[in-house]
Homo-oligomer: A and B are copies of this chain.
Amino acid sequence: MTKVASRKGHMTLPVEVGQEDVVLDLYQRWQADALRDSDGTSMPDSLAEQDSDIYSVMCLVRADQDYANQHPEYLHRKYLMSFPVTAMSDSVTIQPLDGYSKDKYELDDDSDPKQWWEVRNRTTGEVISVDNWSFDAQTQSVEVINVTRYHEYTVTFMARQVWDSVSMYNALTNDWDGPRIKSLDPYHPECRAHLLKHFQHWLETHPNTTVVRFTTFAFLFVIDTGEQNQDIYRDWTGYGETVSPRALQDFEKRFGYKLSPEDFVDAGYYNGTYKVPSQQYRDWMTFVQEFVVEFAAELVKMAHDAGKRTAMFQGDHWIGTEPFLASYQQIGIDINVGAVEDGVALRRLTDSGGDQIREARFYPYFFPDVFSEGNDPVVESMSNWTKIRRAMLQKPLDRIGYGGYLSLANKFPHFIDHVTDISQQFGEYLDNTQRTESQKLPGKVAVLSAWGEARSWLQNQARDQRFYVPPRPDVMELVGNNLLECLSGLPFDVEFISFDDIKQNGIDPEIKVIINTGDANSAWSGDECWDDADIIVKLREFVALGGGLLGVSDPSAYQKNGRYFQLGDVFGLEKETSLTMGRVAMPLEIAQDHYLSQFITGNEDFGNASYVYPQAQDLTVIAAQGQHLAFTARNYGQGRAVYLGNLPFTMDNARLLQYVLIWLAQQESTSFSWLSANPNVDVAFYPHTNKAAAVNFSDQPQTAMVCNTEGRVVEISLEPYQWIWLDN
């Protein structure tokens, strides 16, 4: 067996026992410089000794199953709300676990139910006194007495998780037949001490490992599982699986008040990330972050002390580590690894602070759900890659990688060649950019939501999401409004701000355009954050003094004081929510001579009818669906406002967004170098290397005319999907 060649590459390659020859072949062809094991695979001894980086997966909370089996009191817990039961007589009996997976959850009856659980009348919202209910450990049920007939009752209970969600997913989706893995909660000092000891031993027994790839530290994101072991609720960034009586008691000491079970189950809404977070939930997040950062920092230090570097996978048990928050830098991680399926996911990886190496782990994962006969993995990969490339042109990415079973991927030679191309294009990107950032248009674009920076570049779900059955549950496919994906590949400096930011610090003068995009009632639109005259005034003032405001879907939606869109006066329009049906519709006049009218090609996708109508006389309607406004523009004071009914991701929509932002920033008279007008072609210019890149998103040849920095017109011709580099 030949030795792996000298290290020069940028790719992390998954390995598999028995596939050593394939590994050595692909190591060269895919320009790899690091080898990794994955969930379900391990490192062949022969390869572990090669001159390459060796990434070893470490998910410490799942690492010692013997200990987990001996200590049910340290298993992950969470609050669940029983499904409501209607009282048909004077008492009602509730089996809290009805409707939930019995393979995954047990009632955590060793946390005293009377202390840690809560029974509520869900028809009135009232808490039922502990005198009026009792838990029967024998039947695992709660009896509530003195109830009101035809009222609904729930039990909020602490569930013990006896099967880790990821293990469950692999068993059910990928037919793994190993033991059911349990996760341990390191918040318990005894458990933590044991895990640290286990980790120390692991470090000592993995001499070939150069990078500890944490997957991840303590707590999984939220997956709730139903009676048939089906996922019933998911929140990739939710903090619901971090609860224990001990942590709750410490929280009370730290924050001076006690959290209730209701603060977690939230009437059954479970603090979904798409909701405006309560102060209690924010405080809990802070509490969890403080713990996880401290715990993770200890693990990282141990790895460093053992002479190894560390990588963190921004997924799985990553809750509490927030790359966009300053606290993240206390952990000391060397490499941020993100699962990247599109431009937004890439920007989520590349845009956070700190000097970590950024490594994108691409989809598809080499698992049988994709790599099965009759399926072409290149289709998904190319769809991802074309989106990712656009975003890569905007922010530097350092490394790429894959995961899973190499043996599966190797059955698809077409896919092997395709990844060879991807890796070669990525190598050229590194050469030509020297990891520097491309040129941006002047000024900043800020996306305003209830979360702000903490949830930068998180896909903003919309109502349509609830009605989309994804072919693969582990891959987020966003449907409906998706401004962020359009934005991820455009040459603007983007930042994410919250309502609190505006209240506390005002609006950064560098911000030229503020975007508010999202469905009503969501954290993205802002919901009750708009119930605040101070916010409304600051935004009216921002626009009146020359700023640009872009609203998409339900911007500033909150019913109060005679308005549904609180900034409807700035946009010049209103949404029909059945309160103004008597106002008479006038036929719309579509403007032909507005600056933005020229960019309407008819290929735009504005989604469903908006139910938005004009309110200001001087509103310019650029596009409509019947009498429903789809795209409007208006001057307000010295500034400008644009409304878009919806902006699903298409390249036509992305290019339209580019010109909307230019108009809102009042830069439509400026000629910008290396700016593409062709919807299917993105162009970026790197001032530090004096190179320009052009990528063709489409499967058709494309031509784009752009100016270089001297103002000379350059004609760029591209083959389908081609990526080329040009001198300035």
Q: Are B150 and A544 in contact (CB under 8 A)?
A: yes
Given contacts A122-B561, A466-B613, A233 and B583 within 8 Å (CB-CB)? yes
Interface-lining segment among A102-110, A269-277, A287-295, A666-674: A269-277
What does the 1/0 interface line of A528-562 toward B look like (CB < 8 Å)?
00000100110011001000000000000000111
Q: Are A468 and B578 in contact (CB under 8 A)?
A: no
Q: Which residue of B lies closest to A123 (CB)?
A: B533
Query: Is A462 an interface residue when CB atoms closer than 8 A count as contact?
Result: yes
Q: Are A521 and B561 in contact (CB under 8 A)?
A: no
The distance from the CB of A472 to the nearest CB of chain B, in whole angstroms, is 12
Q: Which residue of B lies closest to A231 (CB)?
A: B584
Q: Which residue of B lies closest to A275 (CB)?
A: B579
Q: Are A274 and B533 in contact (CB under 8 A)?
A: no
Q: Are B577 and A521 in contact (CB under 8 A)?
A: yes
Q: Are A580 and B269 in contact (CB under 8 A)?
A: yes
Q: How far is the CA of A522 from the CA of B533 in the complex (A)?
A: 27
Q: Give every chain B residue within 8 A of A533 (Cβ-Cβ).
A: 123-124, 148, 151
Q: Are A150 and B230 in contact (CB under 8 A)?
A: no
Query: Of the candidates B122, B233, B577, B627, which one forms a contact with A520 in the assembled complex, judged by CB atoms under 8 Å apart?
Result: B577
* A residues 209-252 in Cβ contact with B at 8 Å: 222, 230-235, 238
Given contacts A609-B608, A613-B467, A579 and B272 within 8 Å (CB-CB)? yes
Q: Give every chain B residue within 8 A of A627 (Cβ-Cβ).
A: 466-469
Q: Are B149 and A541 in contact (CB under 8 A)?
A: yes
Query: Is A586 an interface residue when CB atoms closer than 8 A count as contact?
Result: yes
What does the 1/0 interface line of A260-283 toward B look like (CB < 8 Å)?
000000011110111100000000
What does the 1/0 interface line of A604-626 toward B look like (CB < 8 Å)?
00001101010000000000001
Query: Of the candidates B151, B152, B537, which one forms a contact with A150 in the assembled complex, judged by CB atoms under 8 Å apart?
Result: B537
Q: Are B537 and A148 in contact (CB under 8 A)?
A: yes
Query: Is A414 an interface residue when CB atoms closer than 8 A count as contact?
Result: no
Query: Of the candidates B148, B561, B576, which one forms a contact with A467 in the assembled complex, judged by CB atoms under 8 Å apart?
Result: B576
Q: What is the interface size of chain A, counting residues whose CB is below 8 A from a CB of the partner?
A: 74
Query: Is A40 an interface residue when CB atoms closer than 8 A count as contact?
Result: no
Q: Give every chain B residue within 8 A of A123 (Cβ-Cβ).
A: 533, 536-537, 561
The distance from the CB of A142 to the nearest CB of chain B, in whole angstroms, is 18
Q: Are B562 and A267 in contact (CB under 8 A)?
A: yes
Q: Are B86 and A586 in contact (CB under 8 A)?
A: no
Q: Give every chain B residue within 8 A of A562 (Cβ-Cβ).
A: 84, 122, 267-269
Assembly stoichiometry (copies) = 2
Q: How far is the CA of A479 from the CA of B478 in the complex (A)?
A: 32
Given contacts A468-B627, A544-B150, A230 and B584 within 8 Å (CB-CB)? yes
Q: Give every chain B residue within 8 A of A577 (Cβ-Cβ).
A: 463, 520-521
Q: Give every chain B residue within 8 A of A585 (Cβ-Cβ).
A: 466-469
Q: How far is the CA of A271 from the CA of B727 in the complex (A)?
A: 66
The distance from the CB of A536 to the nearest CB of chain B, in whole angstroms, is 6
Query: Is A628 an interface residue when CB atoms closer than 8 A count as contact?
Result: yes
Interface centre among A273, A537, A540, A583 (most CB of B within 10 A): A583
Q: How far is the CA of A122 from the CA of B566 in the complex (A)?
A: 10
What does the 1/0 interface line of A387-422 toward B look like (CB < 8 Å)?
000000000000000000000000000000000000
Q: Are B608 and A466 in contact (CB under 8 A)?
A: no
Query: Is A473 an interface residue when CB atoms closer than 8 A count as contact?
Result: yes
Query: Is A172 an interface residue when CB atoms closer than 8 A count as contact?
Result: no
Q: Are B466 and A583 in contact (CB under 8 A)?
A: yes
Q: Give every chain B residue within 8 A of A274 (Cβ-Cβ).
A: 578-579, 581-582
Q: Are A581 and B272 in contact (CB under 8 A)?
A: yes
Q: Which residue of B lies closest to A577 (CB)?
A: B521
Q: Give every chain B residue within 8 A of A152 (Cβ-Cβ).
A: 569
Q: How far is the CA of A149 from the CA of B537 in the complex (A)?
A: 8
Q: How far is the CA of A608 from the CA of B611 in the complex (A)?
A: 12
What does the 1/0 interface line of A464-480 toward B look like (CB < 8 Å)?
01111100010000000
Q: How far is the CA of A468 from the CA of B611 in the complex (A)?
A: 11
Query: Is A587 an interface residue when CB atoms closer than 8 A count as contact?
Result: yes
Query: Of the candidates B148, B150, B270, B462, which one forms a contact with A582 in the assembled complex, judged by CB atoms under 8 Å apart?
Result: B270
Q: Give every chain B residue within 8 A of A519 (Cβ-Cβ).
A: 578
Q: Are B583 and A232 in contact (CB under 8 A)?
A: yes
Q: Give every chain B residue within 8 A of A18 (Cβ-Cβ).
A: none
Q: How far is the CA of A561 from the CA of B268 in the complex (A)?
A: 9
Q: Give every chain B residue within 8 A of A465 (Cβ-Cβ).
A: 581
Q: Give every chain B residue within 8 A of A325 (Cβ-Cβ).
A: none
Q: Give every chain B residue within 8 A of A231 (Cβ-Cβ).
A: 584
Q: Give every chain B residue within 8 A of A462 (Cβ-Cβ).
A: 578, 581
Query: Is A705 an interface residue when CB atoms closer than 8 A count as contact?
Result: no
Q: Give every chain B residue within 8 A of A587 (Cβ-Cβ).
A: 469
Q: How far is the CA of A675 from the CA of B537 in the complex (A)?
A: 63
Q: Give every chain B residue within 8 A of A234 (Cβ-Cβ).
A: 582, 584
Q: Are B628 and A576 in contact (CB under 8 A)?
A: no
Query: Of the candidates B86, B267, B520, which one forms a contact with A578 in the assembled complex, judged by CB atoms under 8 Å apart?
Result: B520
Query: Is A179 an interface residue when CB atoms closer than 8 A count as contact?
Result: no
* A residues 439-472 in Cβ contact with B at 8 Å: 461-463, 465-469
The distance from the CB of A34 to the nearest CB of chain B, in whole angstroms, is 34
Q: Which residue of B lies closest to A152 (CB)?
A: B569
Query: Is A125 an interface residue when CB atoms closer than 8 A count as contact?
Result: yes
Query: Is A88 an interface residue when CB atoms closer than 8 A count as contact?
Result: yes
Q: Give every chain B residue within 8 A of A582 (Cβ-Cβ).
A: 222, 233-235, 238, 270, 272-274, 461
Given contacts A148-B537, A521-B577, A578-B519, A561 and B267 within 8 Å (CB-CB)? yes
Given contacts A88-B544, A537-B123, A584-B231, A579 and B467 within 8 Å (CB-CB)? no
Q: Are B537 and A467 in contact (CB under 8 A)?
A: no
* A residues 593-646 in Cβ contact with B at 8 Å: 608-609, 611, 613, 626-628, 637
Q: Give every chain B residue within 8 A of A626 (Cβ-Cβ).
A: 467
Q: Give every chain B residue within 8 A of A148 (Cβ-Cβ).
A: 533, 537
Interchain residue pairs A-B with the least CB separation, the first 3: A267-B562, A467-B627, A150-B540
What are 18 inter-chain pairs, A to B, with CB distance below 8 A?
A: A84-B562, A88-B544, A125-B560, A148-B537, A150-B541, A231-B584, A233-B584, A268-B562, A269-B562, A274-B581, A461-B582, A463-B576, A466-B576, A467-B628, A519-B578, A520-B578, A521-B577, A521-B578
Supply 10 further A-B pairs (C-beta < 8 A) apart from A125-B561, A467-B611, A467-B627: A122-B562, A150-B537, A150-B541, A235-B582, A272-B582, A273-B582, A274-B578, A461-B582, A463-B581, A522-B581
